Amino acid sequence: MTRLFSSLELRETSIPNRVMVSPMCQYSCEDRDGLATAWHRTHLGSRAVGGAGVVMAEATAVEPRGRISPEDLGIWSDEHADALAPVAEFVREQGSVPAIQLAHAGRKASTTRPWEGHGPVAPEEGGWTVVGPTDDPWPHDGEAPPTERLTPEEIEGVVESFRAAAERSLAAGFEIAEVHAAHGYLLHQFLSPVTNTRGDAYGGGFEGRTRLLRAVTEAVRDVWPDGKPVFVRLSATDWLPDRDSWTVEDSIRLADRLAELGVDLIDVSGGGIHPDSSPERTGPNYQVRYAERVREETDRRVAVGAVGGITTPEQAEAVVANERADLAIVGREHLRDPYFALRAAQALDATDEIEGPPQYRRAFGF
Ligand code: FNR
pLDDT tens sequence across 272-322: 999 999 998 899 999 999 999 999 999 999 999 999 999 999 999 999 999
Distance from the alpha carbon of residue 353 to the mean position of ligand 1, in angstroms: 28
Distance from the alpha carbon of residue 308 to the mean position of ligand 1, in angstroms: 8
Q: Which residues contact 148 (CB under 8 A, 6 or more apart)?
A: 129, 130, 131, 132, 135
Q: Which are the catalytic amino acids?
A: 185
- The pLDDT of residue 87 is 98
Query: Best of 19, 20, 21, 22 to mutate for ligand 1, by most ligand atoms within 8 A of CB?
Result: 22
| 3-class secondary-structure state, position 108 | helix
The CB of 58 under 6 Å from ligand 1? The reply is: yes
Q: How does residue 118 score in pLDDT terms, banded at 50, 70 and 90? A: confident
Type of residue numbered 209: R
Distances (CA, A) of 4 to 49, 222, 327, 348: 17, 31, 8, 9
Which residue ranges make up each domain of the chain?
8-364
pLDDT in tens, 207-256: 999 999 999 999 999 999 999 999 999 999 999 999 999 999 999 999 99
- Is residue 102 within 8 A of residue 180, CB to CB? The reply is yes
Alpha-carbon distance 115 to 131, whole Å?
24
CA 47, 263, 208, 216 torsion: positive or negative? positive
Residue 365, pLDDT above cutoff 90 = no
ipTM above 0.90, yes or no: yes
178, β-bridge pairs: 101, 231
**Nearest atom of ligand 1 to the alpha carbon of 332:** 29
What is the chain's length? Answer: 366
Q: How does residue 144 score in pLDDT terms, banded at 50, 70 and 90? A: confident
Phi, psi of 119 (to 5 degrees): -80, 175
Alpha-carbon distance 34 to 66, whole Å?
11
The CB of 269 under 6 Å from ligand 1? The reply is: yes
State the CATH architecture for 8-364.
Answer: Alpha-Beta Barrel (3.20)
Q: How does residue 135 score in pLDDT terms, banded at 50, 70 and 90? A: very high
Alpha-carbon distance 13 to 9, whole Å?
6
Alpha-carbon distance 298 to 253, whole Å?
8
- Helices 248-260 and 288-297: crossing angle in degrees, nearest 10, is 50
- The pLDDT of residue 143 is 80
The CB of 183 under 6 Å from ligand 1? The reply is: yes
Mean pLDDT, to the nearest integer, of 75-91? 98
pTM: 0.98
Residue nearest to atom 10 of ligand 1 (CA): 24
| 3-class secondary-structure state, position 152 | helix
Q: How does residue 342 score in pLDDT terms, banded at 50, 70 and 90? A: very high
- Helices 248-260 and 206-223: crossing angle in degrees, nearest 10, is 40
Residue nearest to atom 8 of ligand 1 (CA): 24
- The pLDDT of residue 310 is 98
The CB of 274 under 6 Å from ligand 1? The reply is: no
